[in-house]
Structure 1
Amino acid sequence: MQTSRFAAALAAGPVPLDGGLATLLEAHGHDLSSSLWSARLLLDDPQALVSAHREFFAAGARVATTASYQVSVSGFEAAGLSAELADRALRRSVELAAEARAAADRPELLFVAASLGPYGATLADGSEYRGDYGLDVRRLRDWHAPRFETLAAAGADVLAVETVPCLAEVEALCRLLAGSGVPAWLSVTAAGGRTRAGEPVEAAFELARDVDEIVAVGVNCLDPAEVPELLALARDRSGKPGVAYPNSGETWDGVARSWRGSGDLDVAQVPRWLAAGACAVGGCCRVGPDGIRAISRLLAADPG
């Protein structure tokens, strides 16, 4: 497979990613309490998403991660919306991120990552933090296939296959990617050094080793303190460049639909992530433009 533009950037890295899109939208007063989360704005207020992407670019991010994380046919149908509208929303998410890139400084250095979130995210009940779906690899592959195909054809530079909480879903997504020719990064979410479903996280990284389309492997949506050890495992077991974008340190209460704790992402930790193999670094939930600005400046001053 020909080296993608994003893979080439990783080789020259490190690449600063963006932060929590929903975090920034909520800070600007948008109500994301529905089951569609930030995907609702793809329908109701698309320019709010363009503005948020532009804000992260202005903070130094080189990647805009699309608002497609929560979009699926089953999720839209559960909200009384059509499968056709879900497909349109997936494509629109890439178009909006590309619009933001075109308006940014030096767009030729910037990337659009199409977010492919886990099955559990579309249930809107915190299942992505448990991974207890009760679905096998085949059923998960079949569920992901339509949104994968739409995003793969939408023109993004890379797929962000992210916040994957269990081995069955990692395997399903690896099967979709293998042979597709679509560059992607694979990022799992973990706690206590294991997948959210309690499995050996190194097994998830090993599944990615022989998938040429996967250009980076790592972790997101987890406590920052866990990043160095897990990134080292990702590097050793997958043989791929690392990607890391943890939360601020707070934890999500899926029942109360609120964040607990007083997180404060300390960018002084980032050199340890680089030493462990990170070639792309950003933030996930509760990390806004200020955090990304600090990460970007650190990467520019001390590129590993």
Structure 2
Amino acid sequence: MSKITLLDGGLGQELIKRSSAPPHPLWSTKVMLDEPHLVADIHRDFCDAGARVICLNTYAISRHRLKTYAPEYSVKEMLDAAVSTARQGIGSASSGDSVSIVASLPPLNASYDHTVAPDFDSAYEQYSELVTLQKDAVDGFLLETMSNITEATAGAKAIRDAGVVGAVAFTLNDKDPRELRSGETLEEAIAAVKPYTPDAIMVNCSTPEVVTEGLKIALKSGVRCGAYANGFTSVEALVPGSTVDRLSSRVDLGPAEYLAFVKTWLEMGVQIIGGCCEIGPDHIRAIRTYLDEKAIETTDALIP
């Protein structure tokens, strides 16, 4: 088996467990402003759990979100803060592993809801800005939780035009894993981004069961594939402007249960593994322990 890239897990939901502050529409970014040590601690804990790739706390950083919820801060200020807290956390880890850093390129206006997504030109401009501001500080980009083809292609083009390493990750319909949350098919979405030669096609922020089915389609692409599922019962209650405390976590998806899904993904040929919302350091530790027991090498390169 080739080397496996082991990502970290979901930072935002981990902060829910550790911070006493009330949830905010800019949740993980707001905590980074008020309690930066918590963000650094979570990065450290994912490193110590065995993650080889740490994702910056940049999921909620976009022009629209900052203008709406924190207009006093610039995009660059927030991106720089994310890099600083990540380096602090990695620097305090005791794991001894080499670790790389990737930046999240998120849905620009809201998660899961394609109806509020910007048009292609606006999305491309914003993603290009985010890539330009971060490319010298990170080892790659995760264009993640893509619910529609327009944003996915705009982000994929921005990554390729900048000549940086980047993966595209799609979030799927909980009731039909053949579809994005927009109703467009995953097959169509992969065909739309392939001309921009993404370094990996991934499925993320969907239930593990849906991820498994979606991977059957993604693996046909011939591109390196990855998976990182969430631990929510459903995301339907989250609407633009609402906060993540509206969502409920599953009680049947502890580290052992999540690992069972990961084993299936590895057997299918997936080469990038991690966790999304509600998947914490203990889940990543269980994956790393399994990989070590099976003498499966891990790498800190998104694309070895």
Same fold per superposition (TM over 0.5): yes
Residue 19 of structure 1 deviates from its aligned partner by 1.0
1:156 equivalent among 138, 148, 154 = 138
> Secondary structure, in 3 states, of the residue corresponding to 1:254?
coil
1:60 equivalent among 29, 46, 50 = 50
Residue 106 of structure 1 deviates from its aligned partner by 5.8
Distance 1:270 1:283, change over 3 A: same
2:229 is equivalent to residue 229 of structure 1: no
Residue 13 of structure 1 deviates from its aligned partner by 2.0
Q: Which residue is equivalent to 1:209?
A: 194
Range with greater deviation from structure 2 (99-108 or 157-166): 99-108
Residues 226-250 of structure 1: per-residue CA shift (max 9 Å, x gap): 222322322212x221111101242
RMSD, matched Cα: 2.2
d(CA) in 1 for partners of 2:39 and 2:51?
Answer: 15
Q: Which residue is equivalent to 1:140?
A: 123
d(CA) in 1 for partners of 2:97 and 2:140?
Answer: 15
Residue 282 of structure 1 deviates from its aligned partner by 1.3
Contact 1:22 1:32 in 2 (8 A): no
2:45 is equivalent to residue 90 of structure 1: no
Relative to the length of structure 2, the TM-score reads 0.85
Contact 2:170 2:203 in 1 (8 A): yes
Q: Which residue is equivalent to 2:185?
A: 200
Q: Which residue is equivalent to 1:21?
A: 11
Residue 135 of structure 1 deviates from its aligned partner by 3.5
2:268 equivalent among 261, 264, 276 = 276
Q: Which residue is equivalent to 2:171?
A: 189
Contact 1:116 1:162 in 2 (8 A): yes
Q: Which residue is equivalent to 2:300?
A: none
> Secondary structure, in 3 states, of the residue corresponding to 2:109?
helix
Q: Which residue is equivalent to 1:165?
A: 147
d(CA) in 2 for partners of 1:80 and 1:70?
Answer: 11
Contact 1:224 1:249 in 2 (8 A): no
Q: Which residue is equivalent to 2:109?
A: 120
Distance 1:79 1:293, change over 3 A: same
Identity, % of aligned positions: 28
Residue 29 of structure 1 deviates from its aligned partner by 2.6
d(CA) in 1 for partners of 2:141 and 2:265?
Answer: 22
Residues 209-233 of structure 1: per-residue CA shift (max 9 Å, x gap): 3434x32211110010022232232
Residues 259-296 of structure 1: per-residue CA shift (max 9 Å, x gap): 23634332112121112231111111111111111122
Residue 74 of structure 1 deviates from its aligned partner by 2.4
2:57 is equivalent to residue 78 of structure 1: no
Q: Unpaired segments of 5 or more residues in structure 1?
A: 1-10, 122-127
2:37 is equivalent to residue 47 of structure 1: yes
Contact 2:40 2:85 in 1 (8 A): yes
Residue 147 of structure 1 deviates from its aligned partner by 2.0
Relative to the length of structure 1, the TM-score reads 0.85
> Which of the pair has the greater relative contact order for Cα pairs under 8 Å at 6+ separation?
2
> Secondary structure, in 3 states, of the residue corresponding to 2:247?
strand
> Secondary structure, in 3 states, of the residue corresponding to 1:291?
helix
> Secondary structure, in 3 states, of the residue corresponding to 2:60?
coil
Contact 2:64 2:109 in 1 (8 A): no
2:263 is equivalent to residue 291 of structure 1: no
What amino acid is aligned across from residue 93 of structure 2 in structure 1? Answer: A
Distance 1:28 1:80, change over 3 A: closer
Distance 1:69 1:30, change over 3 A: farther
Q: Which residue is equivalent to 1:5?
A: none
Residue 77 of structure 1 deviates from its aligned partner by 1.9
